């Protein structure tokens, strides 16, 4: 498609090429090589560090050669989510673009505008001859989505700039100046299997149809978490009849709210009708609870007699597993006392699976107050220990504390109002941005985060508003022109 804003067309051209390259988190080798080849083809100086972070140096325009270097920053990796009926293979298939008026989305998969749009804008800035700018450093990091690994691996001297524009925010007209810190926790619950007694029949119970979304940006909307929903159903069944769990799996990335979860269970054949009634009644409850935010939510049960499962967890282990999942918190834990409307602390119950006679659960905690981040992490760890398991938490990443006296912010606010005749919103977000780590590693860095309108990241519903891409371009080139 062609759009009126010419630079938008150029940005989308590069974005579509980027979207054809596999780049799931921790598998950025191909996009890294593509960027190296691109920089070499256009005779730009390029640096690559030990984890494959890329830095492309762009000389300043005439008259700007001695201006302070500005870092344009984004990440290479994407969250790879797809609909259950999609046959897309993220290791080799290009993402299929779908234009719907002013919105660009993908065919049953994540789009990867988070954060492929940042890369595309950076490349167009590098090639642009019409707008003057200071020396630029295009910093593209790896593995942002699963732990900000690339930003954490940055070493002193890798970048020279002291002004940074991060293009990883999701609302045009909003300047992000702070974000939450985060910690991931892996919990391990040992389990025992035994042969299933006579009279039990094997079934599969599914919790699906949920929208999912970003575990930071969307956590306050109240969307359903498929793992928690399934835990509620299993708990209701456990109260009224015997149930033996054989397998359970659901969720994907630590920063995606789970959309689908399923369990292989054994139920007494004589109790099947009662279980069906429990699920039918619970579906009505869920429709009422989530009618505004997750209207397609559904619990189903089907005969799984052809499955290979001949064993199940012991009765005690099955009950313990259900109560363990049921006890783990999900959602908003606290609102900020300092900033009205800001979610301060939350947890995402992100993933569950059984491997090697162990239930493995991944949770992702966030908070803009580091002491409360540690506190909710200790809660998760304590629940695991009380259930007879153990928990291991990562080092996490720091919150980005806002600098409301930032010269870059003051200039940006004034310029935005001049360009678009309205004041921008200045906000702190309940999500992780690499700015927190970069600012910690490079003291004195003056930073701001911007981006086009992006909806439902980390889910197959992800979409970007094309018209706002041009506005981000216009603002960025105008700001760079002022940074002489």
- Please identify every residue annotated as catalytic: 77, 144
Distance CA 278, CA 205 (A): 12
CA dihedral (164, 169, 175, 179) positive or negative: negative
Q: Which two tokens stand for residue 286?
A: 């869920």
CA dihedral (437, 343, 177, 293) positive or negative: positive
C-alpha distances (whole Å) from 432 to each of 248, 368, 413, 439 are: 29, 10, 23, 13
Pairing, β 174-179 against β 425-429: parallel
Helix (H, G, I), strand (E, B) or coil at 76: coil
CA angle 434-440-444, nearest 5°?
Answer: 110
Distance CA 350, CA 476 (A): 35
User: Strand runs (DSSP E) across 101-199, as ranges?
Assistant: 103-106, 136-141, 163-167, 174-179, 181-190, 193-195
Asked whether the beta carbons of 135 and 58 are under 8 A apart, the reply is: yes
Q: Where are the alpha helices (DSSP H) in 98-211?
A: 113-127, 149-153
Kindly report the number of other CB atoms within 10 A of residue 356's CB atom.
8
Let me know if 147 is exposed, middle or buried by CB neighbors in 10 A (0-12, 13-18, 19+): buried
Query: Of 372, 343, 344, which Cα lies nearest the Cα of 220?
Result: 343
Report CA Rg, the chain. 24
Q: Which two tokens stand for residue 155?
A: 């070493």
Strand partners, 186: 362, 392
Q: Which two tokens stand for residue 351?
A: 């993933």
Tell me which DSSP letter residue 61 carries. Answer: P
């Amino acid at each position: 498609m062609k759009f009126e804003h010419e630079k938008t067309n150029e940005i989308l051209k590069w974005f579509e090429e980027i979207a054809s390259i596999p780049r799931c988190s921790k598998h950025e080798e191909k996009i890294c090589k593509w960027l190296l080849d691109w920089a070499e083809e256009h005779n730009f100086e390029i640096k690559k560090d030990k984890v494959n972070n890329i830095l492309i140096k762009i000389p300043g325009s005439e008259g700007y050669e001695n201006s302070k270097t500005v870092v344009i920053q984004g990440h290479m990796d994407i969250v790879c989510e797809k609909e259950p009926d999609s046959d897309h293979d993220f290791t080799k298939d290009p993402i299929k673009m779908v234009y719907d008026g002013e919105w660009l989305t993908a065919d049953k998969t994540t789009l990867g505008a988070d954060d492929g749009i940042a890369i595309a804008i950076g490349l167009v800035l590098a090639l642009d001859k019409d707008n003057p700018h200071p020396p630029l450093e295009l910093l593209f990091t790896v593995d942002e989505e699963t732990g900000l690994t690339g930003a954490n691996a940055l070493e002193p001297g890798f970048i020279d700039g002291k002004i940074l524009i991060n293009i990883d925010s999701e609302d045009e007209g909003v300047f992000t100046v702070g974000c939450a810190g985060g910690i991931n926790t892996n919990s391990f619950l040992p389990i025992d299997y035994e042969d299933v007694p006579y009279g039990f029949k094997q079934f599969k119970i599914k919790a699906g149809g949920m929208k999912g979304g970003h575990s930071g940006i969307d956590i306050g909307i109240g969307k359903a978490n498929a793992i928690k929903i399934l835990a509620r159903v299993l708990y209701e069944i456990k109260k009224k009849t015997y149930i033996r769990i054989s397998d359970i799996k659901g969720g994907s990335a630590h920063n995606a709210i789970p959309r689908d979860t399923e369990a292989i269970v054994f139920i007494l054949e004589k109790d099947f009708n009662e279980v069906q009634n429990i699920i039918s009644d619970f579906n009505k409850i869920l429709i009422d609870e989530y009618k505004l935010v997750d209207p397609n939510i559904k619990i189903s049960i089907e005969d799984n007699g052809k499955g290979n499962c001949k064993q199940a967890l012991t009765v005690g282990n099955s009950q313990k597993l259900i109560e363990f999942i049921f006890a783990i918190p999900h959602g908003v834990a606290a609102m900020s006392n300092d900033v009205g409307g800001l979610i301060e602390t939350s947890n995402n119950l992100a993933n569950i699976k059984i491997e090697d006679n162990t239930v493995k659960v991944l949770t992702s905690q966030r908070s803009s107050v580091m002491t409360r981040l540690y506190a909710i992490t200790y809660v998760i760890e304590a629940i695991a220990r009380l259930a007879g398991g153990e928990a291991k938490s990562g080092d996490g990443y720091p919150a980005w504390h806002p600098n409301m006296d930032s010269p870059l912010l003051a200039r940006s606010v004034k310029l935005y109002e001049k360009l678009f005749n309205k004041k921008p919103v200045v906000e702190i977000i309940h999500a992780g941005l690499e700015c927190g780590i970069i600012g910690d590693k490079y003291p004195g860095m003056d930073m701001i985060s911007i981006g086009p309108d992006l909806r439902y990241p980390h889910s197959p519903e992800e979409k970007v508003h094309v018209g706002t891409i041009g506005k981000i371009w216009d603002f960025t080139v105008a700001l760079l022109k002022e940074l002489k």
